[in-house]
């Protein structure tokens, strides 16, 4: 037992030693060494003397996660499994069942089976709740049970799942899964090409380039690049994708850090694929990191018109640092800045509110693009043309966080049928059903107004008197009634999320993108804008 404890203690010592070696601030060395010694002594004495048997590995994992939780959500400790997942995300290849799953305490929920892959062939559907994998109950598995679904090509795994209250089983033969960076591209009309870039793995620039070449061969004279929902990925691929549209030697990103070697300028290195083709880039609140490097860079260089909603606002750069025993520390090393010099980081993790939440930047600084247009930092990439249906708010976020849209789509799928995506129609009557469903779920969310009112009513300050406090309570009731009305006020935004989720159930991701070509507000706006050369040029000038 003591030998195990010593081995576990060595891990954080060696890990932190890496950080010490990387630090150029010698004045901090003594303080770091002092804290390591205190922690090592505490950890040893705790495990040796605690009244019950301890699990040193679990204690250390908890200690590390809580320590890193004081920083930002992107600085993470990666165990051996996490490191493997990190590699898969970057390479876009792995072996498993071919489905996106969401992990809960006692189940895994299938979010999306990939068309033609193992889970899809075995008949799994979005909304299926996996409760058992092989002989292992998901509820009894301490780690991420989703890892049990991965395995060697042609190996089999039996899963037990719940569907609409009925218990079912399926035997799935695992296979190699290739996660494309460009899952779809097509012509919007006879002159306008459309490319979906869903992630920045190692295939991103190559697949985008091939899609461009194919579309231009089909007659494309203008292009729409869709980065909506793209969470980012490799910085190098963001540079390479931008390079497809801008000349060699163009500055795209500057990174600044307290560590001198991480201060770098990133310029394009290759001949562009096409630096003249009119280009619209689509973004939304889930376009982050590398997506913002591409959209922000193209905006600053006046190379593309940005259409959609404000992007996520992640202006922080991470790098994996190798630790001992195959583990890594993914650490935020710098902030990145677009060609105009702006950092689009939205949340301030180093100045938190009274509840410990990161504060959103509200004071924006003005910058200018290559042509002298005004742009701002600190709040994501702001589109040149805004699409109202892509905006989000606390209600929409709460519907998503509570899985109201997802769960309704599951119910809807089993109660309706469509033979083709062209015949899909989500009517006002369907939306009325959704409103009734949402109200029945009793999901809760708190607006900023409601929060301030509650703090006033429940605070210690009674100077306002009972009558005023009663008025406050009446106002709170009015706010709650307003929440219900908000389901009508934001029907367009909510209905888009519903349609996206439901169409994917019937016709997979490819069917959704085909539906977009003729029905999506952002694509239709981009198509119209690109067809009007004067309007397109006037935005960039």
DSSP sequence for 286-333: T--THHHHHHHHHHHTT-SEEEES------EEEEEEE-STT-EEEEEE
Quick check: 398 and 326 in contact, CB under 8 A?
no
The C-alpha atoms of residue 330 and residue 73 are separated, in whole angstroms, by 10
The C-alpha atoms of residue 417 and residue 249 are separated, in whole angstroms, by 53
Would you give the DSSP letter of residue 118? Answer: H
Closest CA to 130 of 101, 150, 155, 154: 101
Which 3 state secondary structure label does DSSP give 181?
Answer: coil
Of these residues, 314, 330, 496, 527, which one is catalytic? 314
Closest CA to 168 of 220, 132, 212: 132
Helix (H) or strand (E) holding 343: none
DSSP sequence for 24-91: --GGGHHHHHHHHHHHHHHHHHHHHH-SS---HHHHHHHHHHHHHTTS-TT-EEE-HHHHHHHHHHHH
Of these residues, 198, 287, 289, 346, which one is catalytic? 289
The C-alpha atoms of residue 319 and residue 329 are separated, in whole angstroms, by 8
Query: Is 314 tagged catalytic?
Result: yes
Q: Output phi, psi for 43, to 5 deg.
A: -65, -40
**Count of C-beta atoms within a 10 Å radius of residue 146:** 21
Residue 181, beta-bridge partner list = none
CA atoms within 13 A on the CB side of 266: 23
Which residue do the tokens 């003729």 mark? 518
Helix (H) or strand (E) holding 159: strand 156-163
Both structure tokens of 71 = 């920083």
Provide the b/e sequence for 40-70 (b: ≥16 CB within 10 Å): eeebbeebeeeeeebebeeebeeebeeebee
Of these residues, 128, 300, 377, 520, which one is catalytic? 300
DSSP sequence for 374-422: EEE-SSSPPPSEE-GGG---HHHHHHHHTTHHHHHHHHHHHH---S-GG
81-90 CB contacts, 8 Å cutoff, 24+ apart: 81/143, 81/144, 81/147, 82/328, 83/320, 83/326, 83/327, 83/328, 86/320, 86/328, 86/330, 89/199, 89/201, 89/233, 90/201, 90/202, 90/233, 90/234
The C-alpha atoms of residue 273 and residue 234 are separated, in whole angstroms, by 20
The C-alpha atoms of residue 471 and residue 452 are separated, in whole angstroms, by 14
Query: Is 289 tagged catalytic?
Result: yes
Both structure tokens of 325 = 């025993």
The residues that are catalytic are 289, 300, 314
């Amino acid at each position: 037992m003591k030998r195990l404890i010593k081995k576990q203690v060595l891990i954080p010592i060696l890990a932190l030693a890496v950080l010490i070696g990387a630090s150029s601030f010698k004045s901090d060395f003594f303080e770091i060494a002092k804290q390591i010694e205190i922690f090592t002594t505490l950890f040893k004495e705790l495990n040796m003397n605690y009244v019950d048997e301890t699990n040193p590995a679990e204690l250390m994992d908890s200690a590390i996660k809580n320590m890193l939780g004081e920083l930002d959500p992107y600085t993470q400790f990666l165990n051996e499994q996490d490191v493997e997942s990190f590699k898969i995300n970057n390479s876009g290849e792995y072996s498993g069942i071919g489905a996106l799953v969401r992990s809960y305490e006692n189940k895994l929920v299938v979010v999306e089976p990939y068309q033609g892959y193992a889970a899809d062939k075995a008949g799994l559907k979005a909304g299926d709740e996996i409760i058992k994998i092989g002989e292992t109950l998901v509820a009894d598995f301490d780690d991420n049970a989703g890892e049990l679904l991965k395995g060697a090509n042609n190996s089999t795994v039996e899963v037990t799942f719940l569907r609409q209250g009925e218990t079912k089983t399926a035997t799935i033969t695992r296979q190699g899964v290739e996660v494309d960076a460009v899952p779809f591209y097509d012509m919007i009309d006879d002159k306008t090409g459309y490319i979906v870039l869903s992630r920045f793995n190692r295939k991103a620039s190559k697949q985008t380039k091939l899609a461009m070449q194919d579309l231009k061969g089909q007659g494309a004279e203008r292009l729409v690049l869709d980065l909506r929902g793209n969470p980012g990925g490799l910085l190098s691929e963001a540079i390479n994708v931008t390079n497809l549209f801008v000349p060699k030697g163009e500055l795209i990103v500057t990174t600044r850090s307290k560590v001198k070697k991480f201060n770098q300028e990133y310029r394009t290195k290759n001949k562009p694929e096409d630096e003249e083709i009119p280009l619209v880039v689509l973004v939304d609140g889930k376009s982050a990191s590398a997506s913002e490097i591409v959209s922000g860079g193209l905006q600053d260089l006046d190379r593309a018109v940005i259409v959609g909603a404000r992007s996520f606002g992640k202006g922080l750069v991470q790098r994996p640092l190798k630790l001992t025993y195959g583990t890594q520390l993914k650490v935020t090393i710098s902030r990145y800045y677009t060609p105009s010099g702006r950092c689009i980081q939205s949340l301030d993790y180093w100045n938190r509110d009274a509840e410990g939440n990161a504060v959103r930047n509200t004071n924006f600084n003005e910058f200018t693009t290559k042509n002298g247009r005004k742009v701002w930092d600190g709040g994501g990439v702001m589109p040149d043309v805004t699409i109202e249906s892509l905006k989000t708010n606390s209600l929409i976020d709460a519907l998503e966080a509570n899985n109201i849209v997802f769960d309704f789509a599951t119910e809807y799928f089993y109660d309706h049928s469509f033979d083709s995506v062209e015949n899909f129609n989500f009517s006002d009557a369907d939306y009325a059903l959704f409103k009734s469903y949402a109200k029945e779920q009793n999901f809760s969310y708190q607006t900023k107004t409601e929060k301030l009112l509650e703090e006033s009513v429940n605070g210690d300050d009674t100077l306002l008197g009972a009558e005023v406090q009663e008025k406050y309570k009446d106002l709170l009731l009015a706010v709650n009634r307003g929440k219900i009305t908000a389901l009508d006020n934001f029907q367009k935004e909510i209905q888009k999320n519903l349609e996206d989720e439901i169409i994917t159930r019937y016709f997979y991701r490819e069917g959704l993108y085909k539906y977009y070509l003729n029905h999506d507000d952002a694509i239709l706006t981009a198509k119209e804008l690109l067809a009007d050369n004067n309007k397109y040029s006037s935005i960039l000038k």
